[in-house]
Amino acid sequence: MHNVERHYNHGDLEQTILTALEREGKDIEQLSLDDLAPIDEFHIRGPEATREMAEEIGLAGGMQVLDVGSGLGGPSRRLASNYGCCVKGLDLTETYCRVAEALSVRLGLDHLVSYRTGNALDMPFEDMSFDVLWTQHTAMNIGAKAQLYTEMYRVLKPGGHLAIYDIIAGPGGRVYFPLPWARDPSISFLATDDELRHFLETAGFKILSWRDTTADGLAWFKAKSAQIKKLGKPILGYHILLGEDFPQMARNQLRNFNENRMALLQAIAKRPAN
């Protein structure tokens, strides 16, 4: 098993999630996207960040979208449900793909979304297959970034958009571990702003927008922590995925942002039309 998959792998994840939902008083036969969002939108600012980026690229019905590092499928289901696009998810972690499939069936969205286990560095898709390439909080686990963005460019149709929501390296020095995507540096690869621009442009992309959303991320952490103080720890949350050291990961994440060791980036790039 790949070290990244070992980090995310979880024994009986589907049942653990369903049990947590039931303990929260949800009817697991009538689940909504928002019921699952505390766990299946596995990135800072959850559904808000997903909606914001979808609006920015102008997603529309019928578009073919590939979500690279699709996780438990929350973003892909939201894109399919809100905009009517067809979304394929690709993820290295097989358990996540299986759970993503099961949750999609439960939400009645399996006609629009599907998942495939595989590596973003060698995608099992034909050249120029997708209108949109979508990726959130995944490249942090991938060291071979030149290969990653070249591969993304290959499967994107000319004129198609690449939407990126990732954590990048800041000027403040090395990050503190453990973090939600890595307990140590062996599976953490943060590019700087300049490096990422270089990788994208070398792959052939034209950068259309580049936005530092760290302040929005920090405001979200503040709101989450106020909510926990008021209502106590939620039953359904990322701790289910990441285990007992999740609180330490969250604290490190906050410290790294506050000390400019890392930053949150939302960027849109385009594969020029022929």
Ligand X SMILES: C[S@@+](CC[C@H](N)C(=O)[O-])C[C@H]1O[C@@H](n2cnc3c(N)ncnc32)[C@H](O)[C@@H]1O
Q: Which residues bind ligand X (CB under 6 A)?
A: 4, 8, 41-43, 69-71, 74-75, 90-93, 96, 119-121, 136-138, 141-142, 181
- Compute the least distance from the CB of residue 60 to ligand X, in Å: 21
Tell me the C-alpha distance between 156 and 57, whole Å: 14
CB-wise, 19 or 147, nearer to ligand X?
147
Smallest distance from the beta carbon of 82 to ligand X, in angstroms?
Answer: 15
DSSP letters spanning 109-149: -TTTEEEEE--TTS-SS-TT-EEEEEEES-GGG-S-HHHHH
Between 120 and 240, whose beta carbon lies closer to ligand X?
A: 120
CA angle centred on 109, ends 97 and 125, rounded to 5°: 50
- Cα of first residue to Cα of last residue in the chain, in angstroms, is 40
Instruction: Please give the residue whose beta carbon sits closest to ligand X in the complex.
Output: 71
Residue 9 Cβ vs ligand X, minimum distance, rounded to whole Å: 9
64 vs 221: CA distance, rounded Å: 33
Residue 158 or 185: which CB sits closer to ligand X?
A: 185
Q: What is the DSSP letter of 179?
A: B
Question: By C-beta, is 200 or 232 nearer to ligand X?
Answer: 200
CA atoms lying within 13 Å on the CB side of residue 259: 12
- Residues sharing a CB contact under 8 Å with residue 187, sequence separation 6 or more, in sequence order: 3, 4, 7, 141, 181
State the minimum distance, in angstroms, from the CB of residue 214 to ligand X: 17
Instruction: Show the tokens assigned to 242.
Output: 């990441």
Tell me the DSSP string of 26-46: --TTS--HHHHHHHHS-STTH
CB of 68 to ligand X, least distance (A): 6
Nearest distance from C-beta of residue 72 to ligand X, angstroms: 6
Bridge-based pairing state of the strands 262-270 and 206-212: antiparallel
Q: CA 65, CA 254: separation in Å to the nearest integer?
A: 31
CB nearer ligand X, residue 97 or residue 273: 97
Q: By C-beta, is 93 or 253 nearer to ligand X?
A: 93
Quick one: 42 or 199, whose CB is closer to ligand X? 42
- Beta carbon of residue 260, minimum distance to ligand X (angstroms, whole number): 22
| CB 6 to ligand X: min, Å | 10
Instruction: Decide whether 29 or 126 has the Cβ nearer to ligand X.
Output: 126
The tokens for 44 are 């800072």
